[in-house]
Structure 1
Amino acid sequence: MTEHETNNAFQNALALALVEHPRASLQELACAVGVSKATLYRFCPTRESLLDRLQNSSVNAYAQAIQEANLETAEPREGVRKLLENCYKNKELTLFTIQHWQPEQIENSKCIQAQEKLDAFFLKGQQSGHFRVDISAAAITECFHGLLFTMIEAERLGRVPRTRVLTIIELVLLEGVSVPSSTA
């Protein structure tokens, strides 16, 4: 495992520990992720700095997931699938973001740029006839976020099996929850 992968795994573990123990001290978080208090203090000396670092990492991971999905050139269904797979890689950071979102503490331009890329992707899919046009591209972006967030949380709570999370999101986003007319 590379240093970058180790750092990502450590951050994901800390993010999940904060989700499961939102009021935990640094000592309790260190114990929860299996490191010494000194190791965690070297990573982030205060709880506030840890929250800031994880929030920034979450935004960066999200922006990277969008970039790596190549939405500018991807076919719509494949773009959605790749975007979901990329976002799911850091699902712990997504869970953390849901619980600890503080937009005033992050570089907002990254969030706006990421959102604009998704809006443009969904608009392009509408223009090519792949996505509905009676729902705005911005609304589809928000539906994507909502489905991603809630299904990752549902998995954590044991309500949805891990193996079905991405498939369910993709189906609901692209096809809705109605029975397909050919089988009704």
Structure 2
Amino acid sequence: MEKIMAEEETNHTLLNALALALVEYPRASLQELACAVGVSKATLYRFCRTRENLIERLIQRSIESYQEAIRDANLDTAEPREGIRKLLENYYANKELTIFIMQFWQPALTENCACVETQGILDKFFLRGQQEGCFRIDISAVAMTECCHGLFSALIDAELRGRVPRIKVIDIIETMLLEGVCTQSYKTP
């Protein structure tokens, strides 16, 4: 069992590295991608036989990672502020996949049952937070879900480009989601 878990972790690490390599070198061959992530072409070939197969595998892993991040945040029972923090930390653990999916997104993925189901979980989480008085009610729960995704994607991209420090990404997203951009003295009572 431990060997299987270690192999799965190694595969996830390799997939994350390949996701980032594909973003940095979008036209790279398998040989160039293998070189970029520090494995032999034979190793990469055993992992994925074609570039198209690699992209499909990365898209699938991105969806799985998204599902895992939401599931592991326990959004159905977590206190809203704690749920947001855990969700962001879980997303951040596989940020390379977010960067990859931003570049390789296909509209048909939106209709993927897993994506629709996990978005529904987030919608319910934000609605529960509204009902408990933790989140504002003048913005729909669905809009909050979209804002969460949008902020995360934008800040991960900004980090990649060196515009936002890595150690601040989660804090910035959390603050923007929970407090907005206005200072307390500027907000109307």
- TM-score over 0.5 for the alignment? yes
5+ residue gaps in structure 1? none
1:181 Cα deviation after fit: 2.2
**Residue 79 of structure 1 aligns with which residue?**
83
TM-score, normalising length from structure 2?
0.93
Correspondent of 2:42 among 30, 38, 53: 38
Correspondent of 2:24 among 20, 25, 31: 20
What's the Cα RMSD here?
1.8
Alignment pair present for 1:121 and 2:125: yes
Correspondent of 2:65 among 61, 64, 83: 61
Correspondent of 2:97 among 93, 107, 110: 93
Instruction: Report if aligned partners of 2:110, 2:116 keep a CA contact under 8 Å in 1.
Output: no
- The amino acid that maps onto 1:61 is S
Instruction: Report if aligned partners of 1:16, 1:95 keep a CA contact under 8 Å in 2.
Output: yes
Correspondent of 1:6 among 10, 21, 27: 10
CA deviation map 1:38-69 (0-9, x unaligned): 11111111111100000000000110000000
TM-score, normalising length from structure 1?
0.95
**Residue 153 of structure 1 aligns with which residue?**
157
Runs of 4+ in 1 over 3 A off after TM superposition: none
Aligned-residue identity in percent:
64
CA deviation map 1:84-138 (0-9, x unaligned): 0001000000100000012436880100011000000000001111111111100
Alpha-carbon distance in structure 1 between the residues aligned to 2:85 and 2:164: 18
1:182 Cα deviation after fit: 8.3
Compared with structure 1, are the counterparts of its residues 170 and 9 closer, same or farther at alpha carbon in structure 2 (3 Å cutoff)?
A: same
- The amino acid that maps onto 1:143 is C
Correspondent of 1:171 among 165, 171, 175: 175
- The amino acid that maps onto 1:172 is M
5+ residue gaps in structure 2? none
